[in-house]
Amino acid sequence: MELISKADAQALISGHHSNPFSVLGLHEVEGKLTVRAFVPGATCVEVLDAKSGRQITALHEVEGADGVFVGQAGRRRNRFPYRLRISNGQDTWLADDPYRFGPVSGAMDEYLIGEGTHRQLWDVLGAHVMTHEGTEGTHFAVWAPNANRVSVVGDFNGWDGRRHVMRSLGQSGVWEIYLPGISEGEPYKYELLDRNGQVLPQKADPVGFGAEHAPRTASVVRQLQGHDWGDGSWMSKRDALHKTDQPISIYEVHLGSWRRVPEEGNRPLSYLEHARELVAYAKDMGFTHLELMPVSEFPFEGSWGYQPIGLFAPTIRYGTLAEFRAFVEACHNADLGLILDWVPGHFPEDEHGLGQFDGTPLYEHADRREGFHPDWNTLVYNYGRREVRNYLTANALYWLREHHIDGLRVDAVASMLYRDYSRKEGEWVPNIHGGRENLEAISFLQEMNASVYGEVPGIMTVAEESTAFPGVCARTDQGGLGFGFKWNMGWMNDTLSYMAEEPIHRKYHHHKMTFGLHYAFTENFILPLSHDEVVHGKGSMIDKMPGSGGEKFANLRAYYGFMWGHPGKKLLFMGGEFAQAREWNHDISLDWHLVDVAEHRGVQNLIRDLNHLYRSTPALHQRDCSPDGFEWVEDSASDESVFAWVRKGDGDAAPVLVVSNFTPVERANYRVGVPERGFWAERLNTDSEHYGGGGCGNLGGRHGDEVAAAGRGHSICVTLPPLSTLIFELERG
């Protein structure tokens, strides 16, 4: 009696069997239970009872089919758990046969994946350490609907794609297998045959939770379950802290270059070291949030993480998934929120990544006019495909749920919204209406925001969107994109352009500092001085300032004061807080030795005080996103380059007066209109000696006079130091 057909045996040997579960493992053949195993290199294979260890039968190798073993186990009525005792002539070992285990994924999982609505996709796909049918191991599952065969490969099978061919789950396009004995830390990839039977480059897991250190490219099994979170206090209150009436001041950080260890080959700090040093520093500096440049696994250091391969894997550069979670906890226990830069706009073409994953443009568009970014030489996700939208939306939920992340800053939103973004005529495909808007991407962003805000309490999403696309922060049920906040790129460009001018010329560019107020309340804006402003030849923040020596520092201090007094939440890239002198370089540490220099330490002192003043003064943050919280006092003093405005909070919150002088001229007895009489206390003066300034000020404040100025019945007469910003708060009797 033939226990296996020659066709099946040869297909197993050649690696072209697309359904090995129909052949291998335990099956009934003519009333007898038959065991088949494929173990290349073995000389002897025996079947043992898994419970007692007693031998049940010895398998024999099929003639002309190296590695294919078959044998009968008698006329048992029921299937039974068994193990294999294998010998190669030198060594003998025990192994559980993956082909004796039933499926792990359920019918509902398959249905939701096929429908594109599985919001916890990571619970099904990827590599999960578990106990299945009484045996410890790892379940692997991957979506590859157009593959002819998919295998898990690793050190455990000699990276031989014939050994652990997965089970197809039919129309869902998912393949799965349970591999007993595989545990955390095991590297693996997927080997696929395309629909023509050709072997593709081995792929990292699209839903892998860990990865190898570059330049190696395998995924790594990581335990996702079982973390005992200790940040309940933060999680219970963060919803209130992310409202538009709350102070939000963000410290943007690249973990690889914030601080390095020169004594150990100039290595970057680990997640655990950042949990101690970075968290303590950001808290001391008064920031409310950290924002990390992308930590999803990425192959190329020079991309800074903006070309990710492993969207579900915290990069191994700084430690393991468990250590990353410890960093998140440290942030929360220090009352710091944590925002991650998230990149759903594009992905690199590295052969182990998502491109042509199953031999077809699965995640990307087939037409390069839709599916390729000329700016970054990367591929574009196909937002019109339901499974791809689900993959990205589930990834957003994964970081927020599984890692307690507080917010996602979505990178390069403008590149997603427009089909002609950075493309020449004839190099892009119009939408179904003939327009340039990417309707599928717009719909995806709405779906993503609706999902994360609806399912994860207390989080925030932020759009880096550089155009005037309407309704970025409007609700999705009102046609908006649904983001919580938007970076104000226009404000940043205009104000930095103004500051770059020599003071004598600034009167001709006065509008650049006032124009932002024409649209300041159309979205929930964050004022960003991000990493993009200190790279690619743009110089550092201090380098952007005109003048020399102390004048540069005075300009920068005055600008920071202007920014913190201006409506909008705040974001500052690392190094800007102490006037890093060099342009940012991702390969080396910030120049922390500069903090020992008085002028640099003075800027650091200023940022610390600005943050604490911003957080403790309701008028400076409660109506950041509301026009009734702002009132110009002086917006037309172009010849003097002076700006003055009032900030107002809720209820009986004391109003605040902000005055900036952007010329190197001291202006004594300068009269400024105020909304109320009383004592206007000088809360902050960027010319303070504590900040490295000249110490010119107003002796603690000024009393309001019943002297009309700027259309108001009351005013104060102040001294405006050269190149300075002053912040006054009314002290009511």
Task: Give the catalytic positions in this structure.
Answer: 411, 464
Nearest alpha-carbon partner for 258 in 307, 218, 317, 185: 317
- End-to-end CA distance of the chain: give it in Å, rounded: 104
- Please give the C-alpha separations between residue 228 and each of 231, 339, 404, in angstroms, as whole numbers: 9, 21, 12
Q: Strands 714-720 and 187-193, how do they pair?
A: unpaired
3-state secondary structure of 595: helix
State the Cα–Cα distance between residues 31 and 129, nearest whole angstrom: 36
User: Strand 92-95 to strand 149-154: parallel, antiparallel, or no bridges (unpaired)?
Assistant: unpaired
List CB contacts of 727: < 8 A, sequence separation 6 or more. Answer: 561, 565, 613, 620, 656, 657, 658, 682, 683, 684, 685
Q: Which residues contact 415 (CB under 8 A, 6 or more apart)?
A: 345, 346, 373, 375, 421, 422
- Taking each continuous run of H as one helix and of E as one strand, the counts in the chain are 14, 36
List all residues 6 or more positions away from 616 whose beta carbon is below 8 Å from its beta carbon.
none
**Residue whose pair of structure tokens reads 């500069």 in the numeric block:** 594
Report how far residue 450's alpha carbon sits from residue 448's, in angstroms, rounded to the nearest whole number: 6
Q: Which of 667, 624, 401, 594 is nearest to 517 (CA)?
A: 624
Query: C-alpha distances in angstroms, 313 versus 175, 278, 319?
Result: 20, 21, 11
Are 390 and 120 a contacting pair, CB within 8 Å?
no
Are 491 and 483 in contact by the 8 Å Cβ rule? The answer is: no
Q: Residue 170 burial by CB count (10 A; 0-12/13-18/19+): exposed, middle or buried?
A: exposed
What does the block give as tokens for 340? 């991650």
Measured CA to CA, the distance from residue 181 to residue 444 in angstroms comes to 39
CA 297 – CA 207 distance, rounded (Å)? 11
CA distance 270 to 700: 45
Q: Which amino acid is at 68?
A: V
The three-state (H, E, C) secondary structure of 670-700, written as one string:
EEEEECCCCEEEEEEECCCHHHCCCCCCCCC
- Classify 82 in phi/psi space as left (phi over 0), alpha (psi -120 to 50) or beta: beta
Instruction: Determine the Cα angle at 546 with ends 545 and 551, to 5°.
Output: 90
Question: Is-cis flag, bond preceding 721, omega within 30?
Answer: no
Q: Which residues of 589-599 are buried (b: 16+ CB within 10 A; e: fewer)?
A: bbbeebeeeeb
Cα 649 to Cα 631, 646, 678: the distances in Å are 12, 10, 18
For residues 1-16, one letter each, b for 16 or more C-beta atoms within 10 angstroms of the residue's C-beta and e for the rest, the string is eebbeeebbebbbebe
Query: In the structure encoding, which two tokens stand for residue 536, read together?
Result: 């690619």
- Going by C-alpha positions, the residue among 608, 581, 605, 584 that lies closest to residue 593 is 581
Helix (H, G, I), strand (E, B) or coil at 656: strand
